[in-house]
A and B are shown apart, each in its own frame.
Chain A
Amino acid sequence: MVKGLSGRKKPAEEPVLPKVTICIAQDGDEVYFRYVRNKKIQNLLTLYCKEKNIDYRSVEFLFNGKRIATGRNANQLGMVDGDQIDVMTHNIGGG
């Protein structure tokens, strides 16, 4: 009981959790990852691209509408459990 309580309290007191659940969404397709909080998010994204067989350079990763600084980790980006990364394909247009 005591152990359980302290376990639940931990996120509020100690924001540095080892892992965070992130959803990566592309065109309605959602994939969930448990990812280490203090590791560069770029590693996760390249892994995702590898799994989905897409070119990392051909897509854009957005977090709440803003392009992700891929050199940062989930903590620096202020991510919490359930946050979503949007994968968007690049567009061009001429007429």
Chain B
Amino acid sequence: MGNCLGIQFIKLKQGARTGLKLLWKDKENVAVEIDDSAEEHTVYVSDDSSNEDWLIVSKSNEGYRPLKNSQESKKKKKGHRITKVKTGFIILQFRVYIYIFVGNLIHLQDAVEECFAPLTDEEEALVSRALSYSDRREVLVSHPNCNIDITGENLMCLSPGGWLNDDVINLYLVLLKEREERESHKFLKCHFFNTFFYKKLISGGGYNFQSVRKWTTQKKLGYSLLDCEKIFVPIHQGAHWCLAIINKKDKKFEYLDSLKGFDIQVLHVLAKYYVDEVKDKNKEDVDITSWKAEFVTEHPEQENGFDCGMFMIKYVDFYSRDVGLCFDQRDMPYFRRRTAKEILKLRAE
């Protein structure tokens, strides 16, 4: 649903905003009268509760635009009997409902827009400069809390065709957590495990809860892992990045692979981990028999041999915003530069 809405919103954006401008006074009591006899398709819009405020709007290709306001238009209306409302009215009323519906969801469209906000010239220059550093050992940026240093060499993986390394991914995931804490109303409460978590969890022959038991104490995280709606777990499969999600919100375990791979073992291990984690931290048993294990198939797919890391972190980014995965392979060059910018500035938007 998210995918469709995302695309529809972009198309509807202009129309929706124009429509909402007409209805700013009172969305509930709007009467719309149409004079089809006039050549210009003049439309009178009134607020039922007070007949003082009138608008004349003219129909054009873009939609309905206000022409004049108030008394003048009222006079004009008096001398002019409006007879044909019928069809036009119904259509317009329908549009009004669409606009209200879209208006209610405009924040979602804004969220999608935010995902594709272009870089400023200054930021472009910053990224270009950083990606062409000759001294690759030089530390470009270092995050004080998570102790990750990004050298020129690390960042080079974000240049076109580069394979993403774990330093860049881990730092980006830390930035996503900081973004969520900064603007908690806009993002889901999530936890982002680093790329080493799953590897450690399956160390020592299959499943080893003890090795990661201390990773998620409330004291260490500052919040309870089990309060999070989504828990993201990056999975490294040989030379390939995938993503697993413990989705507490929808009660399911999800697995996303940009190359359409499946690994049921990962979901079994995470299910086991979740049960043990609840038992260990909350001292209670959780029943996950009704939870679904889902291999997400309708998601953007990789069409080359180097973008899987980028797809993986963008699945995380979009899901933590609670919007659909409305991007595809063509957006990857932009996402690479955007991620480089966010890492250099140590701030994800």
**B305 near A95 (CB under 8 angstroms)?**
yes
- Which of B194, B199, B200, B309 is A93 in contact with, Cβ under 8 Å? B309
Proximity bits, B192-223, A CB within 8 Å = 1, else 0: 01111101100110000001101111001000
**B306 near A28 (CB under 8 angstroms)?**
no
Interface size class, chain A: 10 to 19
Give the residues in chain B near A66, CB-CB below 8 Å: 146-147, 220
- Which of A68, A70, A86, A92 is B163 in contact with, Cβ under 8 Å? A92
Contacts A27-B203, A28-B203, A92-B165 given: A60-B196 contact, CB under 8 Å?
yes
Q: Which residue of chain B is the closest to A65 with respect to CB atoms?
A: B215
Flag whether A67 is at the interface (Cβ < 8 A). Answer: yes
**B307 near A91 (CB under 8 angstroms)?**
no
Flag whether A62 is at the interface (Cβ < 8 A). Answer: yes
Give the residues in chain B near A27, CB-CB below 8 Å: 203
Interface size class, chain B: 35 or more
Q: Give the distance to chain B from A62, nearest Cβ to Cβ, in Å.
A: 6
**A94 near B196 (CB under 8 angstroms)?**
no
Give the residues in chain A near B215, CB-CB below 8 Å: 64-65
Q: Which residue of chain B is the closest to A93 with respect to CB atoms?
A: B241
**In whole angstroms, how far apart are the Cα atoms of A54 and B306 in the complex?**
28
Give the residues in chain A near B217, CB-CB below 8 Å: 64
Q: Give the distance to chain B from A94, nearest Cβ to Cβ, in Å.
A: 4
Flag whether B236 is at the interface (Cβ < 8 A). Answer: yes
- Which of A28, A64, A65 is B204 in contact with, Cβ under 8 Å? A28
Flag whether B34 is at the interface (Cβ < 8 A). Answer: no
**A94 near B147 (CB under 8 angstroms)?**
no
**B200 near A86 (CB under 8 angstroms)?**
yes
Q: Give the distance to chain B from A74, nearest Cβ to Cβ, in Å.
A: 16
B97-115 residues at the A interface, CB under 8 angstroms: none
Give the residues in chain A near B236, CB-CB below 8 Å: 91, 93
**In whole angstroms, how far apart are the Cα atoms of A60 and B147 in the complex?**
11
**B240 near A88 (CB under 8 angstroms)?**
no
Q: Give the distance to chain B from A22, nearest Cβ to Cβ, in Å.
A: 14
**A86 near B196 (CB under 8 angstroms)?**
yes
Flag whether B259 is at the interface (Cβ < 8 A). Answer: yes
Flag whether A69 is at the interface (Cβ < 8 A). Answer: yes
Give the residues in chain B near A94, CB-CB below 8 Å: 162-164, 239-240, 305-309
**B196 near A93 (CB under 8 angstroms)?**
no
Give the residues in chain B near A3, CB-CB below 8 Å: none
- Which of A70, A88, A95 is B258 in contact with, Cβ under 8 Å? A95
**In whole angstroms, how far apart are the Cα atoms of A91 and B308 in the complex?**
13
Q: Which residue of chain B is the closest to A27 with respect to CB atoms?
A: B203
**A95 near B147 (CB under 8 angstroms)?**
no
Taking Cβ atoms with an 8 Å cutoff, the residues of A that contact B are: 27-28, 60, 62, 64-70, 86, 88, 90-95
- Please name 9 pairs of A and B residues whose Cβ atoms are closer than 8 Å in the assembled complex, sorted by A: A65-B220, A66-B220, A86-B200, A90-B166, A92-B164, A92-B165, A92-B166, A95-B258, A95-B308
